[in-house]
Chain A
Amino acid sequence: MAASRQKTGLRTQQGGRINRDKPVSFTFDGKTYQGFEGDTLASALLANGQHMVARSFKYHRPRGIVAAGAEDPAAIVQIGPDAVETDPNTRVTEQEIFEGLRASAQNCWPSLSFDIGIANDVFSDFFPAGFYYKTFMGPPLSWMRFEPFIRKAAGLGVAPTDRDPEQYDSTNRHADVLVVGAGPAGLAAAKAAADAGARVILVDETNAIGGALLSEPEGSVSLGSKPADVAIQKMVDELHANPDVTVLTRTTAFGYYGDNFVGLWERVTDHLAPTDRVTHMPRQRVWRVRAKQVILATGALERPMVFDGNDRPGIMLAGAVRTFLNRYGVLCGRMAVIFANNDSAWATAFDLQDAGAQIAAIVDIRRNLSGALLQKAAHRGIPIHAGSAIVGTKGRSHVAAAGIRVLDASGMISSKANWIECDLIANSCGWAPNVALFSQSRGKLFYDDDLKAFRPGASWQQERSVGAANGAYDLQDCLDEGRNAGAAAAADAGFKKRIPRVLKASHTMLVQRDLQIMPQIPSPKAAKKVRAFIDLQDDVTTKDIKIAIQEGLHSVEHIKRYTTTGMGTDQGKIANLNAFAFIADHLGKSVPDVGVTTFRQPYKPVTMGALAGQHVGAHFMPRRTTAMHPWHKAQRDVVFEPVGDWLRPRAFLREGEDFHQAVQRETKAARTGIGVLDASTLGKIDVRGPDAREFLNRIYTNAWSKLAPGKCRYGLMLKEDGMVMDDGVTACLADDHFHMTTTTGGAANVLGHLEDYLQTEWPDLKVYLTTTTEQTAVASICGPGCDRLVADLLDDVDPDPETFKFMDWRDAHIQGIPVRVFRISFTGELSYEINIDASYGLWLWKKIFALADSEGGTYDITPYGTEAMHVLRAEKGFIIVGQDTDGTATPFDLGMNWIVKKSGDFVGRRSLSRSDTSRDDRKQLVGLVTEQPDFVLMEGTQIIGSKDEGAVPVVMLGHVTSSYFSPNLGRSIAMAMVERGQGRAGETLYASRKGEAPMAVRVVGTDFLKERSDGTI
């Protein structure tokens, strides 16, 4: 059968925009093929007679190349040399070939020609539309039973096995005018806008500028006085010479977002052989463009005919066949049947014939054909079947024959099938403007009854659609629309209006003229047997859509979801309009009444790596470190902890110690020897102005009116809901000047919170805020007798605790370098915090440790990390905002009534008297000690009221927020939020444990040091 289907010799003798001097060899599915530079994988495979390149998603039916560009539905393959550098679902119509390219068929096993999954096709009656949903609703466990099989069979392509070794870039651009699509309309627009002085970005998805003109036979079109190719090159050269113009090929505008923000995806090196790829070039690049004006010249997409057996390889879009012929010099077949409802497809017949192919028939469903057209075809000896249709096809992995029947006046079949052998069916159901980006921009579509397609209506953003994307299919119209839009866009972007030069086209191009749409070509077969595909990637047939409608799904969005039509990696670019028309026909509605599904970003899948750009690996996130960090890092065995963006030492392990032992040693040392903590990360805010005190009075729950210069005070900050937001110590530097500290993680939020109040609520307050967090490095020195060490450090201030009192601060110097010393404590122990300009931080730190006995000094100094800090503060019962609080605790809940002033307003005050915040059964912070002193509760443990858990649901009284083993108390300690906790002192409660009996715990105060000295623990 089909002797004409030859594997070789499908390359034309001349013509095409390929470089015949540069042969390129590549492999597909293990077999080596030859192509030329400029070929896509599709054109090179077609030149070798290879139409079938994939199997479909659901039924594993043979899939061939249908289109010539991004709209191709199912000709997708796996690209790449190995399992790591592999890209699934790459469209063969877009992948350019290079020496050594390796492509393989996907979705088939063991091979493309023999695939086990084809069994799905045989049993396709069992996998109808909505199959998955039905398994959900079927008998119990039905989904559970089917899921493993569905999972195994589902998915397209294979994901890489390891992290992507390629480099990607992302960049930002501002443009006056962004032009998407570099066909005649886009090119004319870009030229007009650039000539007006605008900053222009012109992008095209393919490797060349020219758009549809590249699909015309060479020399058949001239622009001005020059052949199109020459004229285009001249315009491109002029654009390139303009420093304010960026021309990008191989670049897809994948997403049109709000405020004229458009994402572009450039494939920088994907078309190059690995040896030609320069190492510093990214593989791909995402451009984030903010454009004042956008011009969409995205062209039109051809619509296929829907007929029984329309999915065999070798059945292609007529326009694509012409593109392969004229752009790539490839004959898609030697014996072609043209199946059309419009004039443009006839050009395919003429061009194919000129290139040496035989035209077995032109089948046109229209009865009234233009005389000129008929005459031309007759003159060429092409058999014409007017008012006829292809009602079926034959061929296993390639089309071998087309069955043609005459249609009667009512569109029904009225003759016997006339089978014509062929190896190519080039079909066309007319052209539809490519409105995807326009719709993404929120523009309104309207249905054009002449085009039988949707086209752009009112724009929502600063956008213009031109050329075929706007339904203008005539070349001169495209040029004019583009030119006018380019000039207007530049003027709207603020450039002087100028009248651009008119570019006259002369050509013999055939446009589609009047269309006749048949949503589905009738078939003589029983309806059940007809397999007329609408979506070739997702295997959706007209039958599936009928089932969906029968089952009550009438909205186009519902039908899409039920049948999966228009889903997948192609998003139904050529399928959607046929689906809408079929649904409309079946429901007896008009197409505009049925409407369209939503066009969403991205226009086509974009590599994740390109979206991430350079912000990956080591550059993923900043890791903030303090001035002392080099010292920390150089310690023998130090474990760090991320705190906010910061990296802080968590514990300094000594030889032979584990983490727990190190924390115990450090915690002990801070109360027996001298402990030193890097406290540089605390947030610091300078507060200054005549109303600074009043501001603090309103921001903190306590009073600040009487805090004298030289003194510090602890403060608690609430949100408006009365819940604790942050805490810290604030020092009075002068009557109108304060130095506020915040938690490490809360610094940025607190500053935002304060500025918000100053600017929006209290603009009358004269207060300025400036963040000073990183200006100073802070060494917190703690331990009995640490004043002697501090005395040795300071030039000019005596730290004697008798005179330098708790909550005082002093300006001092160390070797002449100014420092500020605060006598504040987060441990309850004698403690000094030395603040020094950060550039001297490491020096100060080294200076402290040079006084250690281990370095020949006289002090027993232990550096301690954040974990020991946590234990030390818990021993003293100090809270950590964010650990002991979770945004639902008031100061009263924390037992901090003392910090809430009796009179005067502050942020959150009113919320404290709400019925919910003032009820007496709230969860309150308490201390817990376990019956077994060495048992450390897990943080988060649930607290219950009885020895055994009892029946579900167990009544939960609260949960543990902090829990440690305290080396200074020789037992475990915990803090917990417990219902009515403050009234439960001495009560025994129980801590739930997984798989074990609850542990008895006793409720105590949160200051465990005090509890010990009181003898309660």
Chain B
Amino acid sequence: MAQSDPTLKPPQGRPERLSALAHRAPLSGDEGLTMQEAAHLGKLVLRLDESVAGTIVPDALNGVHLPTLPCCSDTSATGTLSVLWLGPDEWMIVSEAGTEQTLQTELELQLKGQHFQLSNVTDYYVCIDITGPQTREILMNLTTLDMHRRSFEAGQVKGSILGHANAFVWQLHTDTGATETFRLIVRSSMADYLWCLISRSARLFGMAEETPLSGERLVI
């Protein structure tokens, strides 16, 4: 076994946790453009009937309502928990790293009696944060969503296909005057592809292009 890669050394002591983009260092470009992974954020998918969704505010959600307006999200006052509208009966709850299991247990209790589904997808998806004045233009290179500021406002989240990867595009709530940040939520297995594709699409703005890991032998 090749021992050069520290992540491949035999495990010692405590369990080791690795995110799908652990091998990628943050990238930057012109005018404060940056791209980095927001690793291990807690992610739960909640499915619940639309008609009850508006009336339920589980304590576990820190006062955050389940948004019923399409493509909207709501974030707690502390900024640590957000609920994203993914569909008429589907939400994603994004929380601080390491909180998803407790949150899941509490929500399960508080939703008892309802017809619902709560799935932990923390490791299923990876969050890629892009910040900078050119973010919208970079994303326009990859998505057919209307990224104009009138059409894509802070807090909105929309599903799209970027290249060949499905992803949710979410504009984080930011303080007024602060540079916009878009968070892409993408399948772990597609994260390296999307990361590199964004770096390629941001070449114009001074970001260094990275190429996906490859080199596997496919031919017998």
Contacts and interface: CB of A to CB of B under 8 A. Distances in A.
Given A622-B189, A659-B220, A768-B47, A839 B123 contact: yes
Given A770-B121, A839-B18, A640 B217 contact: yes
A640 B217 CA distance: 6
Interface string A605-646: 000000001110111011111110011011101111110011
Contacts of A282: 204
B24 to A, nearest CB: 13
Given A614-B197, A622-B212, A634-B8, 13 more contacts: A172-B144, A615-B197, A619-B163, A619-B197, A623-B193, A626-B189, A627-B188, A686-B119, A688-B116, A774-B123, A774-B189, A817-B15, A842-B18
A690 B124 contact: no
B141 A614 contact: yes
B30 to A, nearest CB: 10
A688 B115 CA distance: 9
A768 B201 CA distance: 37
Contact of B11 (A281, A618, A619, A843): A843
B16 A843 contact: yes
Contacts of A773: 124
A775 B101 CA distance: 13
Contacts of A638: 216-217
A846 B11 contact: yes
Contacts of B131: none
Nearest to B216: A640
A512 interface: no
Contacts of A618: 196, 211-212, 214
Contacts of B23: 630
Interface residues of B, number: 64
Contacts of B16: 840, 842-843
A645 B190 CA distance: 10
Nearest to B203: A280
Interface in A832-852: 837-840, 842-843, 846-847, 849-850
25 contacts: A172-B140, A173-B140, A199-B148, A288-B144, A615-B197, A618-B196, A619-B193, A622-B164, A623-B214, A631-B1, A634-B8, A638-B216, A639-B220, A647-B216, A689-B117, A772-B119, A774-B124, A774-B187, A775-B122, A775-B123, A815-B15, A839-B20, A842-B16, A843-B11, A850-B11
A690 B203 contact: no
B117 A772 contact: no
Nearest to A632: B216
A172 B5 contact: no
Contact of A688 (B14, B117, B140, B218): B117
A619 B212 contact: yes
A689 B11 CA distance: 39
A280 B140 contact: no
Contacts of A816: 15
B55 interface: no
A714 B46 CA distance: 27
Contacts of A646: 189
A281 B204 contact: yes
Contacts, number: 179
A775 B163 contact: no
A630 B2 CA distance: 10
Contact of A170 (B123, B141, B190, B220): B141
B177 interface: no
- The DSSP consensus for interface residues of chain A is mixed
B120 interface: yes
Interface of B: 1-2, 5, 7-11, 14-20, 23, 40, 45, 47, 89, 115-117, 119-125, 140-141, 143-144, 146, 148, 151, 163-165, 187-190, 192-194, 196-197, 200-201, 203-204, 206, 211-220
B17 A839 contact: yes
Which 4 residue pairs of A and B lie closest in terms of their CB atoms, listed nearest first? A624-B189, A622-B193, A768-B117, A838-B123
A770 B188 contact: no
Nearest to B45: A770
A665 to B, nearest CB: 15
Contacts of A847: 11
B190 to A, nearest CB: 5
A171 B123 CA distance: 31
B201 to A, nearest CB: 6
B116 to A, nearest CB: 7
A766 interface: yes
Contacts of A838: 20, 123-124, 188
A475 B144 CA distance: 38
Given A774-B123, A774-B188, A622 B117 contact: no
B163 to A, nearest CB: 6
B214 A850 contact: no
A551 B200 CA distance: 56
A310 interface: no
A768 B195 CA distance: 31
B76 to A, nearest CB: 23
B197 to A, nearest CB: 5
B220 A171 contact: no
B116 A768 contact: yes
A216 interface: no
Nearest to B120: A775
Contacts of A280: 203-204, 206
A405 interface: no
A619 B123 contact: no
A855 interface: yes
Contact of B218 (A642, A689, A770): A642
B164 A621 contact: yes
A875 to B, nearest CB: 21
Contacts of B213: 625
B219 to A, nearest CB: 8
Contacts of A843: 11, 15-18
A242 B203 CA distance: 25
B55 to A, nearest CB: 18
Given A288-B144, A622-B190, A846 B124 contact: no
Nearest to B219: A639
B190 A624 contact: yes
A222 interface: no
Contacts of B197: 614-615, 619
B122 to A, nearest CB: 7
Interface in A685-731: 686, 688-690
B115 A766 contact: yes
Nearest to A621: B164
Given A647-B216, A815-B15, A843-B15, A776 B123 contact: yes
A846 B10 contact: yes
A290 interface: yes
A169 interface: yes
Contact of B117 (A614, A617, A770): A770
Interface in A253-307: 280-282, 288, 290
A689 B5 CA distance: 44
B15 A630 contact: no
B165 A622 contact: yes
A77 B45 CA distance: 58
Contacts of A846: 8-11
A171 B201 CA distance: 9
A174 B148 contact: yes
Contacts of A626: 189
Contact of B143 (A167, A172, A850): A172
B189 A839 contact: no
Interface in A900-955: none
A717 to B, nearest CB: 20
Contacts of B8: 630-631, 634, 842, 846
A169 B11 CA distance: 44
Nearest to A244: B148
Contacts of A645: 189
A775 B121 contact: yes
B2, B47, B165, B189 — most chain A CB neighbours (10 Å)? B189
- Residue of A167, A169, A172, A173 with highest tally of chain B CB at under 10 A: A172
Contacts of A771: 124
A688 B116 CA distance: 8
